[in-house]
Amino acid sequence: MTRNTIHTKFPRSTLRGQLVHKVLTMIFSGELHGGDRLIEEELAEKLGVSRTPVREALGELASIGVILIKPNHGAVVRPFGPAQLIEIYHVRRILETEATRLAGEHVDPQSLKAIRASTAELVARNDRSPAWAETALALDQEFHELISRGSGSERLAEEIGKYRNLVVAVGDAVGNKLHAHDQNMSEHTAIIDHLLSGRADDAAAAMGRHIDRGAATAAEWLGQVYEHGVKKPTGASA
């Protein structure tokens, strides 16, 4: 088994997140398939870590329905394709629309304005290089984390975070349609404008449309990857 070490200088919670991301990428890129067993010892050896963070990562993956942990049998990858991805995005939609609605009362307006300004600056650049795409992905993550934290519900933010790990891994493994980042940022700006204007319900509806569009984009490319092995170089998110 090829060794792909993940350096252990990070805190365990961060290491677990890295492991979750790595296993998800292996699934979405076709390296792992539905029905494959995930053996703790083998994963720990391949990823260059101890069994404890691997066990924690598998537990998190099971909690979002990507793998199934059977007593006395270990972890098994669940069948996964565009239909399953749409189901997961549907759960995200429920969680994040509610978080957006709650954020209308709790989120910091100055933080919203800061992300809006960064978004406008990035869109205005005459540059769509890989470095630009990486910046866009980082800003996407910052936006969604601000909304989830701004909901005022720690439990809701924690649940959303689990699905964000999955979405980022899908983007890394599957790829990005042309102009998807620009579309994301346009939609983020609309959501921010609704929140800054006190229209929480409109912001929540816009977040729902944003996630639906992201789901359709990701599912289309996932289908092509699984059917034809098509893969584009930069990640998509929503």
DSSP 117-182: HHHHHHHHSS---HHHHHHHHHHHHHHHHHHHHTTS-HHHHHHHHHHHHHHHHHHHHH---TTHHH
Are both 87 and 157 inside the same structural domain? yes
Q: Which of 77, 100, 128 is the last residue of a domain?
A: 77
Give first-to-last CA distance, the chain, whole Å. Answer: 34
Residue 76's DSSP bridge partners are 37, 68
Asked if 179 and 132 touch (Cβ cutoff 8 Å), the reply is no
For residues 64 and 92, membership in a common domain is answered with: no
Structural domain harbouring 51 = 12-77
Q: Are residues 108 and 155 in the same domain?
A: yes
Amino acid identity of residue 73, one-letter, is: H
What is the torsion angle, in degrees rounded to the nearest 10, for the CA atoms of residue 125, residue 146, residue 90 and residue 235? Answer: 40
Q: 127 Cβ partners below 8 Å, 6+ apart?
A: none
> How far is residue 47's CA from residue 178's CA, in Å, rounded to a whole number?
32
pLDDT tens, position by position, for the chain (238 residues)?
444 444 433 334 578 888 888 888 888 777 888 899 998 899 889 888 999 999 999 998 998 888 999 887 789 999 878 888 899 899 999 999 999 999 999 999 999 999 999 999 999 998 888 888 889 888 998 999 999 999 999 999 999 988 887 777 776 655 555 567 888 999 999 999 999 999 999 999 999 999 999 888 888 877 776 665 544 434 456 7
Residue 4 backbone phi and psi in degrees, to 5 = -130, 80
Among candidate residues 37, 53, 77, the one where a domain is terminated: 77
Quote the number of domains for the chain.
Answer: 2
Task: Enumerate residues 6+ apart whose C-beta is below 8 A from 132.
Answer: 122, 125, 181
The residue among 51, 77, 103 that closes a domain is: 77
Q: How much is the pTM? A: 0.77
| Secondary element (H or E) of residue 50 | none
Q: How many CA atoms lie within 13 A of 187 on its CB side?
A: 21
- Structure-token match 């998190």, residue found: 60
Contact 33, 39 (CB under 8 A): no
What CATH number is associated with residue 119?
1.20.120.530
